[in-house]
Amino acid sequence: MYSVMWSEHCSYKSSKLHLKRFAVLPPTTPRGPLLAGIGEQAGVVDIGDGWAVTFKIESHNHPSYVEPYQGAATGVGGIVRDILAMGARPVAVMDPLRFGPLDAPDTARVLPGVVAGIGGYGNCLGLPTIGGEVVFDESYAGNPLVNALCVGVLRHEDLKRAAATGLGNQVILYGARTGGDGIGGASILASETFTEGGPTKRPSVQVGDPFMEKLLIECTLELFQAGVIQGIQDFGAAGLSCATSELASAGSGGMHVTLDAVPLRDSSLAPEEILMSESQERMMAVVTPADVDRFMAICAKWDVLATVVGEVIDGDRLLIDWHGERVVDVDPKTVAHEGPTYDRPVARPAWQDAVTADTTARLPRPATSDELARDLVAVITSPNLADVSWVTDQYDRVVRGNSALAQPEDAGMLRIDERTGLGVALATDCNARFAFLDPYAGAQLALAEAYRNVAITGAEPVAITDCLNFGSPEDPEVMWQFVEAIKGLVDGCLALGTPVTGGNVSFYNKTGTRAILPTPTVGMLGVIDHVSDRIRSGFAHAGDAIYLLGTTADELDGSAWAGVCHGHLGGRPPALDFDHHRRLAEFCAAAATGGMLTSAHDLSDGGLGVALLEACFRNGLGAAVTLPGDPFVALFSESAGRVLVSCPPAQVAVVEALARDHALPVTRLGEVREAPELVVTGQFTLGLQELRDQWRAVIPAALGLIA
């Protein structure tokens, strides 16, 4: 029990010293105080009209390398139960994914399995997958990142907590039987470094059953409605060890549990294996004796197995018996919350200065129009900017009928209230190349990109969750990256007024001696008063005017152009102005409410050139534009805080005036055209039909799915 509960994955022993920095953030959003924050199973945000949203992102990285399908599937299942345990109905998921090179042999094993696992589990649950990322980089070879976000909806009064209170109250385990899958996963699989040849240890990855989870969701929601649950905890990492110790530690008494009563799939399991098993689709509830029969009847209705395994007792001990023998007698607070705190060495890498000095200034830039066009085609058809519909088409994006926006839009959006149209928008983002160049700035740029992607839909960004993916904490250079990223997020959230509601730390993402690029993934939540005001990302009508909001500078370090065309990663990330981002968000909200814009698309990876092509591809339209300043910088710079927008001719003066009112630089670029071609005046013309086919074929062709 101490082994799993004090593991890196469960106790955060290497990170909690630094995570305390988040405590300086006010527990409030632009829409009001947080209803639950860091330390709960998931954060809960008040979005108005008595509605609340709970959302959280976590990782299932190492299991997804060992067994891609089940690793990814159970990652979805675990985060869904976290949301359910807050008293909410899970309503959507997102999946930021990162793999080794697209053409690497192992990617052909891991990528399809992960995608099938996410789609198979989420689709069976009836949850739309409304967003995410797909990124390829050499550093993730042998250590993919499978991060999963879930969002749930509840009324304020339905909020639930994980605490075992009330002397004599019964402790009920309900859901699937306990098996031998995932034993020690938290302490071994998620807390060890992989070798070049594979994981150092290969315990069984959890095996998921989405149909059981769907029954568990509906059963739990009816139990909530019936008012028969006093406290609830999902089973995740560390299994029964975690559920019992955390429930008991948060309550007002102790707990006595009889392991003999735990329903098993494998009768040969030893008591320590039962305590550590991470079998999926299980929950634990605290119920008054008077409500037990009602609880059991509801479980029987949904064909969900439920068993009384213990009770709340006087005192402050967690007591667990097996075959009449006392096998556990511990202070649950010690087990759950008083694990070791490591103040690990932190050292700025000796190579950091050389990386910073190695800017793109030394790289040859395209000198002719033909070379400009060549580089743009190379960038848009590179793995990280190619079409990901082969992935997203395996996910149901519209099930439940409340998806107002979903991939390939810049953010997902959900209708929360059919009566008022109230909705939320969500985006997940991180450019790990920027985080490698400067983890402080890179984390802030991830925050800013997620903020922009939510804002350009017309929603107001209000709060974040984060999944901090890094190498081994035993490496002082990795710890420096980690600490700098946290500092960046804290300062950025203070500037934007977006609190951190919770999240996850994933360490030991390393194969051999090589750590992954530092990847502090940010999930941003926004609120929109009526989803009918949403703004889409693609050009919508021929004749619409095209504008660029924001300032473009010669900022190519860490850019897609540098990586794709020259294999280069060095220099400094783009500069960042948070006040500009706040004004940009206010502009987008006003434009959305006024119906002024027909499209808005964030400029990030690849810069303006990629944004123009993506906006054209979306609805099969073309564009004619004139580039301001240096054509190369205009096309490929990745300066932060820029948005490509379009509006009807009748709205031109209104949009320009609104931009001026918000002190936003605004540049008229050109217009949307019916003909499927991108005309860059004085430079080149690209036919879009053939290029779109090439862009769409990159991932399936690399996987051998098309010739």
Whether the link from the prior residue into 408 is cis, omega within 30° of 0, is yes
Report the DSSP beta bridge partners of residue 257. 310, 320
Residue showing tokens 């009526």: 530
Give residues with Cβ within 8 angstroms of 185, minimum separation 6: 63, 203, 204, 205, 206, 237, 278
d(CA 38, CA 214): 27
SS (H, E, C) 188-240: CHHHCCEECCECCCCCCCCCCCHHHHHHHHHHHHHHHHHCCCCEEEECCCCHH
Task: Count the helices and strands in the chain (H runs, E runs).
Answer: 23, 29
Whole-Å CA distances, 285 to 124, 154, 238, 482: 25, 19, 17, 36
Q: Which of 669, 662, 663 is nearest to 635 (CA)?
A: 669
Contact assessment for residue 76 and residue 148, using Cβ atoms and an 8 Å cutoff: yes
Q: Which of 700, 653, 647, 639 is nearest to 672 (CA)?
A: 647
Q: Please compute, for residue 527, the number of CA atoms within 13 A of its CA located in the half-sphere on the CB side.
A: 22
Give residues with Cβ within 8 angstroms of 537, minimum separation 6: 408, 409, 410, 456, 599, 600, 601, 602, 614, 615, 618
Give residues with Cβ within 8 angstroms of 609, minimum separation 6: 376, 379, 380, 635, 636
Whole-Å CA distances, 492 to 32, 44, 178, 582, 639: 19, 21, 43, 12, 17
Q: Which of 27, 62, 55, 31 is nearest to 41 (CA)?
A: 55
d(CA 413, CA 124): 21
Strand pairing class (545-549; 460-469):
unpaired
Residue tagged active-site, from 18, 60, 62, 256: 60
Whether 60 is a known active-site residue: answer: yes
Residue tagged active-site, from 9, 580, 601, 662: 9
Amino acid at 635: L
Whether 18 is a known active-site residue: answer: no
127: tokens are 């949850």
Give residues with Cβ within 8 angstroms of 384, minimum separation 6: 134, 135, 136, 137, 560, 605
Give residues with Cβ within 8 angstroms of 35, minimum separation 6: 44, 45, 46, 52, 156, 159
Report the DSSP beta bridge partners of residue 308. 172
Q: Which of 518, 139, 559, 522 is nearest to 352 (CA)?
A: 518
DSSP-derived letter for residue 676 is: S
Query: What amino acid positions are annotated as catalytic residues?
Result: 9, 60
